[in-house]
Chain A
Amino acid sequence: MSDMDMDDGSGVVKKFMFLNRKAPHGTVYALEGLEVVLITAAFDQDVSLVFTDDGVYQLMKGMDTKGIEVKDFSKTYRALEGYDIEKLYVDSTSLKARGLTEEDLIVDVTVLSDDEMKNLMAEQDVVISF
């Protein structure tokens, strides 16, 4: 056994950022991304979720998906707190460009400027984009 095998890496906490960039429906990215986040929560890592570009639409209040016959998973973002995922960020440029404010979102988020977002990304060990 080499030294590598001895250290299995358990107990190491990395900073993971999940970057959500796409509208909630029409592609599977948003739902799949959310499921990956829920699974990752089991591994006690330092997880941040970012919603940017059309990804901000994922957090819209008052979603109604009946007409397109897909599951409305927007309420699931409210369950994240119970999974100890409490760092949710939205970039102000994406919000403004879509005429949205924090009031339109289904969960509490921290709104960041472009510079703040850049710094937050630079701090991460892993960034996964959906």
Chain B
Amino acid sequence: MPMVNIAGKEVEVDEEGYLVDLSQWNEDIAKYMAVEEKVDLTDSHWEVVNFLREYYAEYQIAPAVRVLTKAIGKKLGPEKGNNKYLYELFPYGPAKQACKIAGLPKPTGCI
């Protein structure tokens, strides 16, 4: 699998650019992935990214977008738990893009 150099560290990514070893993740990697995805990281983006990392720690999967939306609504309120809000932050798919930035694998059920 391809190796990329991020902030002086060699990290392995899969053919779609997702981080292979979750434990290597750090903020530099998140920023690198965000540039790859053409996403300008703001506090609102970080909120979703951090939420995903917590979700993964608890359930060991990256959630499908429908599940992510619902779970965000529960935790952060309905004004954030909706498609419009999340797609504005991550136009090419909140689950797909935010998971990549969070260092998670591509969501299960993302077809």
Identify the 9 closest CB pairs spanning chains A and B, nearest first: A79-B59, A39-B109, A38-B108, A75-B60, A82-B67, A38-B109, A76-B61, A76-B60, A42-B109
Given contacts A39-B109, A39-B111, A41-B109, contact A82 B60 (CB under 8 A): no
Per the CB 8 Å criterion, the residue count for chain A at the interface is 14
Q: In whole Å, how far is A28's beta carbon from the nearest beta carbon of chain B?
A: 14
Per the CB 8 Å criterion, the residue count for chain B at the interface is 13
Q: Is residue A96 within 8 Å, beta carbon to beta carbon, of the partner chain?
A: no
Residue numbers in A under 8 Å from B10 (CB-CB): none
Interface residues of A in 63-97 (CB under 8 A from B): 71-73, 75-76, 78-79, 82-83
Q: Is residue A123 within 8 Å, beta carbon to beta carbon, of the partner chain?
A: no
Interface residues of B in 24-61 (CB under 8 A from A): 58-61
Q: Is residue A114 within 8 Å, beta carbon to beta carbon, of the partner chain?
A: no
- Chain A residue nearest in CB terms to B59: A79
B109/A78 in contact, CB under 8 A: no
Q: Is residue A35 within 8 Å, beta carbon to beta carbon, of the partner chain?
A: yes
Contact of A78 among B59, B63, B108, B111 (CB under 8 A): B59
Q: Is residue B9 within 8 Å, beta carbon to beta carbon, of the partner chain?
A: no
- Chain B residue nearest in CB terms to A35: B108
Q: Which of B60, B63, B71 has the most CB of A within 10 A?
A: B60
Interface residues of A in 24-43 (CB under 8 A from B): 35, 38-39, 41-42
Residue numbers in B under 8 Å from A82 (CB-CB): 63, 67, 70-71
Q: Tell me the complex Cα distance, A39–B66, Å.
A: 12
Residue numbers in A under 8 Å from B60 (CB-CB): 71-73, 75-76
User: What are 16 pairs between A and B in contact, CB < 8 Å?
Assistant: A38-B64, A38-B108, A39-B111, A42-B64, A42-B109, A72-B60, A73-B61, A76-B61, A79-B58, A79-B63, A79-B67, A82-B63, A82-B67, A82-B70, A83-B64, A83-B67
